[in-house]
Amino acid sequence: MRLLSGFCLLAAVVMTSALGGSDAFGQDTIRNSVVHVFATQRAPNFSQPWSKLPPREGAGTGFVIEGNRIMTNAHVVQYASQIYVQPNQSADKIPAKVIAVSEGIDLAVLSVEDEEFFKDRPPIPFSEGFPKVRSAVNVYGFPIGGEQMSVTEGIISRVEYSSYKNQTAGLIIQIDAALNPGNSGGPAVSDGKLVGVAFSGLRSADNIGYLIPVEEIEIFLADITDGKYDGKPHLFDQLQTVENDALRKRLGLDKGVGGALVHTPASKDEDYPLKEWDVITHIGPYALDAGAKVNVGDDQQLPFNYYVPKLTQDKKLPLTVLRDGKEVKVELPVSVERPSVMPSLKGRYPSYFIYGPLVFTSVSRELVGGLSRVQQIFFNDRGIEILKHINRPPNFEGEELVIVPTSMFSHRIIKSYSQPVLSVVEAVNGTPVKNLAHLAELLRDADGEFIEFKFASDNSETLVFRRDEIAASTEEILSDNGIRNQYSDDLSHVFKGDK
């Protein structure tokens, strides 16, 4: 699961070369079905969550699919306030909007209002079957370096099952053609049929690019038929291979028996089907080898997780485990996302709450990912070791980590206090803070003379304010700093006390 660690997302990618091989759909038809995608993106500002970062003009590639829709990468249109698509050999830029997106698998579907747009732009047909290594592919797109469509020729050099983003895993195709910014979302075609979508290149190597294969695209499209994306089910148990000789002897595994050892079950509940020291020997009918891999097709071995979304029925996964020397059949509950005190925003903007000179927000994966190494060390010093908590499940329903993401606003009531930047809020007036909404409730309902903020770190001071003074300072601070709203929209009903 290490493949993507060095990846560079291509906010527009593809290559240039002569075309070879047969092309059943026709080069001209494919070109007509490929579009240039332009997006004005406003990313979150985590240190000032009431605002957005300045607009950034990005560009990528898209192509027509069934249902009068356009497919591209999620990262091309994420946080976009405006999106336009420009057909090949046209000066027209046509407004478009996102109708479905998966940040994890990095796919998005767009629509345009004018149905005439698709009259001469047919959908590119999808290939069938498992991608074949050494198959020739042509990648279409609009990479940096010019305005005309570029086409790169290469071959499929490998197919792997690996991590994408946000706990999402799936098949990934590697090709021997470098992909550059601008080609993201471009179609890779073989014999006139789509085999994948360009989404990434490897910074540290030449002529290595990556595609999202048709199999993952079809899973995504099937998921969004009800109008929303749910995601792929996953196992969240910690597992290890059974290749070591001493370990195999300890487990009593016969020669030729493979599997995956359950190191830490995803749940400690007594009725959870997997236990420590269980060995998963089969997923459905498929046997695992000693490296926890299964055979796929004629000559491909992939991690057994490949079959999880294929075999899951009603959120249950059939497994065979070896427990104390006996074979046991279990139905393992699986989910699309592991609950975490640091969840992903999934394309949303961060929630925030301003009270007097203090700004509060919830910790998200994106916030942590945007911290520099120095900031992470500082964060650790302020009450939370980030990497230990990023996958920690909540201790109770709704648990969030609430922090102060930025310095306090200048005001006389903060006299002599140290700045609690990146400090985790532990309690308000002695009551432990469960989440950001709970903090807003505590401040809304406070009725004593003072408001007291206690933080999780011994390196952060306890802040005490007169309740009437900090409440009165809020409007003044908002006005002085040009901030329109005291809280994000999702907290409006909480602070107003609406039911």
Overall average pLDDT of the 321-341 stretch? 93
Q: Where in the chain is the domain with CATH 3.20.190.20?
A: 352-496
Q: Where in the chain is the domain with CATH 2.40.10.120?
A: 3-226
Predicted confidence (pLDDT) per residue in 367-404, tens digit: 998 888 888 888 888 777 777 787 788 999 999 999 99
Q: How far apart are CA 235 and CA 335, in angstroms?
A: 8
Overall average pLDDT of the 25-30 stretch? 78
Predicted confidence (pLDDT) per residue in 178-191, tens digit: 788 889 999 999 99
The architecture (CATH level 2) of 352-496 comes to: Alpha-Beta Barrel (3.20)
Q: Which segments of 335-461 does DSSP mark as H helices, in order?
A: 365-369, 373-381, 386-389, 436-445
Instruction: Tell me the whole-structure pTM to 2 decimals.
Output: 0.87
Model confidence at 205, in pLDDT bands (50, 70, 90)? low
Mean pLDDT of the chain: 90
Overall average pLDDT of the 255-283 stretch? 95
Q: Where in the chain is the domain with CATH 2.30.42?
A: 238-333
Predicted confidence (pLDDT) per residue in 40-84, tens digit: 999 999 999 999 999 999 999 999 999 999 999 999 999 999 999
Overall average pLDDT of the 285-296 stretch? 95
The architecture (CATH level 2) of 3-226 comes to: Beta Barrel (2.40)
Model confidence at 201, in pLDDT bands (50, 70, 90)? confident
The pLDDT score that the predictor gives to residue 200 is 84
Q: How far apart are CA 43 and CA 348, in angstroms?
A: 10
Predicted confidence (pLDDT) per residue in 448-484, tens digit: 999 999 999 878 899 999 999 999 999 999 999 999 9
Q: Which CATH class is domain 238-333?
A: mainly beta
The pLDDT score that the predictor gives to residue 295 is 92
Q: How far apart are CA 100 and CA 135, in angstroms?
A: 30
Q: How far apart are CA 194 and CA 69, in angstroms?
A: 15
* Other beta carbons less than 10 A from residue 141's beta carbon: 31
The pLDDT score that the predictor gives to residue 498 is 60
